[in-house]
């Protein structure tokens, strides 16, 4: 019997699970999560997992945050160099495939039930229209999905590393603030966990915001910003989240226009599911459709949030099963 392993590797964590095909439905088992920065490389994690969980893997697929070229990737937010053939040889895995993490997420969409999505805008979905996917977390991932003949064909991009484009005066000042720190401003520098903290610092340093006493005791400042903002307990945190939502709306619209995503655009990652109440309050869609000639097009475009945290892992799992058929 063929043995499968799926993985999702990001700057925040590594998730591994074995895979079963249960009457056409994917089942994950022996799931384990590892904090990425606690390990020097993926091999260290695989050593630990395979010793404790399983041996004799035949096919493995890993969704990795970074540009995958010829089954090899240097991870974007980790100092790791991952080569599929080396993993195959070292761990005696028959076949190892590396894919971009957002491509894995795109494949995972087909394995989700309707209740694993939250709709921000119902729109008018074109059955075979292109789909867009944007995911903010430790970094920012973007992908487009072409649909034809009942099949989905996702392809990766590195759109998160494109230039950040301010949409108003205060965002121009944010650009200048980040530029003075980094010497360049990528979209990911704003739309990520680190970006949330940068916006917060910008408001404190230049816009009269106040630093709350909670910052010093926080183990995770970006997540604390979200918590305080949603609870209405800190005005600077609230302004931070508002700026983040508007910048996210703008970049989501950019992706939708570039890909003509008439089938809808989905927002994934670890941030969006936590801020759904902020996304549905109206400012997101107001900014999303603010495109002059394209306003009608964007108003009719479905927009949803992926609330299944294992979507990328499910996508990688599905790809292991597909690899076995080839």
Tokens 């479905």 locate to: 302
- Residues listed for the chain: 326
Cα–Cα distance measured from residue 64 to residue 290, given in angstroms and rounded to the nearest whole number: 33
Other beta carbons within 10 angstroms of residue 162's beta carbon come to 15
What is residue 25's predicted lDDT score, i.e. its pLDDT? 85
Other beta carbons within 10 angstroms of residue 170's beta carbon come to 16
Pair 187, 160: CB distance under 8 Å? yes
C-alpha distances in Å from residue 191, one per residue of 48, 104, 159, 196: 33, 20, 12, 7
What is residue 55's predicted lDDT score, i.e. its pLDDT? 65
What is residue 54's predicted lDDT score, i.e. its pLDDT? 63
**pLDDT tens series, the chain, 326 aa:** 789 999 999 988 999 999 998 877 899 999 999 999 899 999 999 999 998 766 689 999 999 999 999 999 999 888 999 999 999 999 999 999 999 999 999 999 988 988 999 999 999 988 788 999 999 998 999 999 998 877 888 988 889 999 999 999 999 999 999 999 999 999 999 999 999 999 999 999 999 999 999 999 999 999 999 999 999 999 999 999 999 999 999 999 999 999 999 999 999 999 999 999 999 988 999 999 998 899 999 999 999 999 999 999 999 999 999 887 77
What structural domains and CATH numbers belong to the chain?
Answer: 4-100+312-324 (3.30.420.40), 113-307 (3.40.367.20)
What is residue 33's predicted lDDT score, i.e. its pLDDT? 95
Query: What does DSSP assign to residue 301?
Result: S
What is residue 156's predicted lDDT score, i.e. its pLDDT? 82
Burial (CB count <10 Å: 0-12, 13-18, 19+), residue 84:
buried
What is residue 18's predicted lDDT score, i.e. its pLDDT? 94
Pair 7, 27: CB distance under 8 Å? no
Q: Strand order in 303-306's β-sheet?
A: 117-121, 303-306, 264-268, 131-136, 140-148, 151-156
Pair 316, 9: CB distance under 8 Å? no
Q: Tell me the pLDDT tens digit for each residue of 217-243.
A: 999 999 999 999 999 999 999 999 999
Bridge partners of 266, per DSSP, are 133, 304
What is the radius of gyration, based on Cα positions, of the chain?
20
Q: Say if pTM beats, i.e. exceeds, 0.85.
A: yes
Q: Which two tokens stand for residue 177?
A: 């603030």
> What is the DSSP track for 31-64?
EEEEEGGGSSSHHHHHHHHHHHT-----EEEEEE
Pair 321, 1: CB distance under 8 Å? no
C-alpha distances in Å from residue 277, one per residue of 120, 247, 270, 284: 10, 16, 15, 11
Cα–Cα distance measured from residue 135 to residue 105, given in angstroms and rounded to the nearest whole number: 9
């Amino acid at each position: 019997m063929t043995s499968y392993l799926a993985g999702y590797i990001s700057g925040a964590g590594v998730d591994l699970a074995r895979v079963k095909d249960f009457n056409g439905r994917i089942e994950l088992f022996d799931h384990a999560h590892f904090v990425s920065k606690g390990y020097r490389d993926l091999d260290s994690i695989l050593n630990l997992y395979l010793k404790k969980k399983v041996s004799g893997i035949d096919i493995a697929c890993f969704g990795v945050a970074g540009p995958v070229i010829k089954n090899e990737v240097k991870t974007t937010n980790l100092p790791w160099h991952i080569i599929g053939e080396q993993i195959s040889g070292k761990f005696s895995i028959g076949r190892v495939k590396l894919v971009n993490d957002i491509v894995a997420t795109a494949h995972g969409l087909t394995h989700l039930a309707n209740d694993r999505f939250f709709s921000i805008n119902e729109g008018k979905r074109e059955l075979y229209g292109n789909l867009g996917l944007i995911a903010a977390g430790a970094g920012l991932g973007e992908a487009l999905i072409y649909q034809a003949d009942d099949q989905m064909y996702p392809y990766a991009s590195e759109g998160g590393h494109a230039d950040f484009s301010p949409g108003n005066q205060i965002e121009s000042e944010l650009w200048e603030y980040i530029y003075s720190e980094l010497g360049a401003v990528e979209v990911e520098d704003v739309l990520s966990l680190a970006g949330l903290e940068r916006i917060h610092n910008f408001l404190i340093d230049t816009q009269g915001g106040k630093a709350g006493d909670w910052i010093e005791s926080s183990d995770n400042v970006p997540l604390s910003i979200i918590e305080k903002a949603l609870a209405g307990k800190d005005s600077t945190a609230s302004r931070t989240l508002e700026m983040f939502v508007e910048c996210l709306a703008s970049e989501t619209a950019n992706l939708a226009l570039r890909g003509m995503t008439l089938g809808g655009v989905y927002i994934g990652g670890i941030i969006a599911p936590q801020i759904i109440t902020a996304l549905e309050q109206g400012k997101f869609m107001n900014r999303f459709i603010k495109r002059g000639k394209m306003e009608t097009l964007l108003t009719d475009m479905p927009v949803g949030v992926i609330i299944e945290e294992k979507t990328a892992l499910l996508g990688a799992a599905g790809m292991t099963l597909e690899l076995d058929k080839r």
